[in-house]
Amino acid sequence: MLERAGAFLRCAGLAVADFRRHDGLVYSGYLSFIFLLATFPFLVFFTAMTSTALNVLDKHEDFLHGLVTSLLSELPHETIAALLPRINEILSGPPQSLLTVAIVGIVWTASSAIEGMRTVLNKAFRVSAPPPYILGRMLSILQFLAIVLVMMFSVLFIVLVPIILDVLDQKWGYLGYVKYTLSEVILCLSVALLYFMVPNTRQRMGVVLPGAVVVTVLWTVSSFTFSWYLSNFRVLHTMYGNLSGIVASMLFFYILSIFFIYGAELSYRLSKQF
């Protein structure tokens, strides 16, 4: 047991060295910008598709608004305060002109996040021959559409979850713990799925899952820590004034990107060790 723990710590140290050697901080800045750039096109497309599916099931559109708001409430408020007005506008009704005229541009921009992750993960998992640019972009678009489809099915499934949670809460009263645990598990599986499907190499879920678990823990801890820092220290507001909300969002994305890349480096090292 101690030997395996020591091997894990050695892998963690080697992953830090790999992160530095592969310019992880530079790529983290790149990913944080791409994520922010792709957030709103993704939200427009996802909202339109999911609203259509909910209308077919005679579910009120306020359900989607409440769902996204509930998910955003898990993030530090200070990091998304500057983004909330536009997010609420999109959730209240995605711009139809964008959906009819610029659908290709929306999908292209939103899939840029997948392309950015592919570039980073190919380096972390030592992919020596990435695909040509056009093929890579087509793969990114297909994977983006697949992710949207999975999320749509997840939203439709969540329609049933409140009923199940109400039964559990009435019987055991553990609703808060169930929701928190479920959100952590879903986050971990989502990261593992990205590690599994995005790089241009054949992966095994057992290889990428340990890194995804570490990323989930680091994201959770950093979220609480960053929220505490912003609540107790006014450095960003003093330095950036009205731009402090945007800077906080970018900094939060940057921290998440650092741990995302590190988790990939750790998964690679663990796969070679064990």
Which residues make Cβ contacts (< 8 Å) with residue 271, sequence separation at least 6?
A: 207
Question: For residue 26, is it within any domain?
Answer: yes
Q: Is residue 2 part of a domain?
A: no
* 256 lies in some domain: yes
Residue 181 belongs to some domain of the structure: yes
Q: Which domain holds residue 63?
A: 10-273
- What is the DSSP secondary-structure string of 103-148? HHHHHHHHTHHHHHHHHHHHHHTT-SSPPPHHHHHHHHHHHHHHHH
Report the alpha-carbon distance of residue 71 to residue 73 in Å, rounded.
Answer: 5
pLDDT values of the chain reduced to their tens digit, one per residue, 274 residues: 777 788 889 999 999 999 999 999 999 999 999 888 887 777 777 777 666 665 655 555 555 666 666 566 656 666 667 777 777 776 666 555 555 556 777 778 778 888 889 999 999 999 887 778 888 888 888 888 887 777 666 655 555 555 556 655 565 555 556 667 777 888 898 899 999 989 988 888 888 999 999 999 999 899 888 888 877 777 777 888 877 888 888 888 899 999 999 999 999 999 888 7
Note whether residue 39 is domain-resident: yes
Considering the domain boundaries, does residue 205 fall inside one? yes
Q: Domain tally for the chain?
A: 1
Report if residue 55 sits inside a domain.
yes
Asked whether residue 5 is assigned to any structural domain, the reply reads no
For residues 227 and 221, give the distance between their C-alpha atoms in angstroms, rounded to a whole number: 10
Phi, psi torsion values for 131, nearest 5 degrees: -70, 160
